A and B are shown apart, each in its own frame.
Chain A
Amino acid sequence: MLIHLLDNPARPNAALMKAFERYKNKVENGELSNSIGSIA
């Protein structure tokens, strides 16, 4: 038996989608020269 999560699709904002794309490209192309991490 499988339990699935109910999906709630919504169209993301175009600027936010582009921002996610830029972020992904920076990570995949190794262009992300700065790091984000939690403070201790």
Chain B
Amino acid sequence: MARQHQKKSISRTYVLVDDAQPRRILGYYALAIRSMTPSGDLPAAMAKRLPREVPGITLARLAVGLAEQGKGHGEMLLVDAMKRVRSVVAEVGGYAVFVDAKDGDGAAFYHKYGFIPFESDPLILFMPIASIPV
């Protein structure tokens, strides 16, 4: 599916490979354009300062192979994704990066790095682009 989305330009998938064995995928993530409606999802104080709909980027399907977990690959993929998001948004604008966590553990991973859960669904989290380190 990732390759089909890539072909249709729906999303872009990036893979982390073992340099010693380039065909071995250690983890991956995908990025896609996304828009959202702040009212109802974001904290009221934040939403009231935003237009009815705001553009952003979705960080989708960030995952690390079971045998490769606990080695810092997830963090490396997350930072790589955030750097790409920052670079894209610097050119075209965008308010936030969004993630759809698979479950509570996934949400906790993103929350640790400063992602804020939606008020309407704690498994959807976001981070304002301005909060991404330079």
Contact = CB atoms under 8 A, between A and B. Distances in A.
Contacts of B2: 39
B119 to A, nearest CB: 19
B18 A34 contact: yes
B15 A39 contact: yes
Contacts of A17: 133
Interface in A11-29: 11-13, 15-17, 19-20, 22-23, 26
Contact of B16 (A5, A15, A35): A35
Given A16-B131, A19-B78, A20-B79, 11 more contacts: A10-B128, A12-B114, A13-B131, A15-B112, A19-B75, A23-B76, A23-B79, A26-B76, A34-B17, A34-B26, A38-B15
Interface of B: 2-3, 6, 12-20, 26, 72-73, 75-80, 82, 90, 112-114, 128, 130-133
For the complex of A and B, the 6 pairs showing the least CB-CB separation, nearest first, are A13-B114, A10-B130, A23-B79, A8-B130, A12-B133, A16-B113
